[in-house]
Chain A
């Protein structure tokens, strides 16, 4: 299965700042997704990162708050903008390899907003 690298693995940020999380995959993948896991909670899909076009956001998530880029089939970024303590979460990149129908996850990026 694909190997996913996420950076940073964790960070502590100040309120009002923005942070960009990177997701690098070791092979070309058709579908890439960003999930959020709030403390003690399950996973919630933020958006599907589309290569060469705007991401597709789930209800409750907007591009101004969570801009996403996907310049090619192996890389994506998620920015958490104008952060507040409520944004403290683990953010997970996941991919589906062509024909696999299985999500593979990165190790996640743990954000703490003070």
Chain B
């Protein structure tokens, strides 16, 4: 069965610092991988997705993620965090959208 693990429940970084949010998945085939962001009181917004091809994918708001099949990982990165990036981040895996699984989420706090 497919599953997603986000090992970090809460991360705090200083504004301007780099960020990496971890995501590990378990899936029997080539997965579709996603990162979503949820700001307080909001729905989920897609940051980026990986289906195939180049394993480094660029998303919105300056985020990128790298698919590493050997490590079953799809970590999200940003070189310089802004205060507005404070939110909950969810990694998700699926092959079709009937069977998408979400990680538990990582809450990002940005220190001034």
> Using a CB–CB distance below 8 Å, which chain A residues touch chain B?
1, 4, 31, 33, 41-43, 45, 48, 92, 94, 96, 101-108, 110
Contact = CB atoms under 8 A, between A and B. Distances in A.
Interface of B: 32, 34, 36, 41-46, 49, 51, 90, 92, 96-98, 100, 102-105
Contacts of A92: 43-44
7 contacts: A4-B43, A94-B44, A103-B34, A103-B92, A103-B100, A104-B46, A106-B43
Nearest to A108: B43
Interface SS, A side: strand
Contacts, number: 46
Contacts of A110: 41
B49 A105 contact: no
B46 A31 contact: no
Given A42-B102, A42-B105, A102 B42 contact: no
